[in-house]
Amino acid sequence: MTKRPSSSRLAGLGFELAAGVAGLALFGYWIGRYYGNGPLGLLIGAAVGIIGGMYNLIRATRVASAKGAVEAQNSERSKDSS
């Protein structure tokens, strides 16, 4: 039987993406207000948050996909040897 990622791990990935975007957007907003450059800090912070969050999401997806492929290959081998 193939072990699937738990729903809590998937929800955790979504939360990490949202928290990264929100946290860096707020930080960018604060920087923008501190230096008086308007919404530029907010936009840069949100962009960095989106890029970082998507990187983390893609990285976790690739790891899960690789593990699934290895498990599928191992299950095929065990069926063939039986």
CB atoms within 10 A of CB 2: 9
Q: Residues 21-66: pLDDT tens digits? A: 999 999 999 999 999 988 999 999 999 999 999 998 888 888 878 8
The more confidently predicted of residues 57 and 76 is 57
Asked if residues 65 and 41 have their Cβ atoms less than 8 Å apart, the reply is no
Its pTM stands at 0.72
HSE (side-chain half, CA atoms, 13 Å) at 71: 11
- The SS3 of residue 66 is helix
Torsion of CA 45, 50, 52, 53, to 10 degrees: 130
